[in-house]
């Protein structure tokens, strides 16, 4: 299981699944393991839902990776 990302506001979910797939495949093409690929897919899907339509929220791979790094650095540790 890979956690999703909280977003400020969901505008439209159109294209979120396709965005996940494109993020996953982009990461896979760069040699990342499946867990990291899913994390990139989740981040791409999160960006997609923050804009109207299926393509307005699409970001570059570098922007997605920056988003992931920012969110992970700001994440509070979870208790087990």
- What tens digit of pLDDT does each residue of 4-50 get? 898 889 999 999 999 999 999 999 999 999 999 999 999 999 999 99
What pLDDT is attached to residue 71?
Answer: 80
pLDDT grade for 76, boundaries at 50, 70 and 90: low
pLDDT grade for 75, boundaries at 50, 70 and 90: low
Catalytic amino acids?
18
User: How far is C-alpha 38 from the chain's CA centre?
Assistant: 8
What pLDDT is attached to residue 80?
Answer: 53
Q: Which of 19, 59, 76, 61 is nearest to 42 (CA)?
A: 19
Other CB atoms closer than 10 Å to residue 23's CB: what's the count? 27
């Amino acid at each position: 299981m890979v956690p999703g990302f909280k977003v400020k506001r969901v505008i439209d979910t159109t294209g979120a699944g396709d965005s996940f797939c494109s993020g996953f495949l982009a990461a896979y093409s760069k040699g990342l393991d499946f867990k990291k690929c899913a994390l990139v897919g989740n981040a791409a899907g999160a960006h997609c839902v923050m804009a109207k339509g299926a393509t307005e929220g699409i970001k570059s791979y570098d922007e997605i990776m920056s988003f992931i790094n920012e969110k992970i650095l700001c994440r509070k540790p979870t208790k087990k």
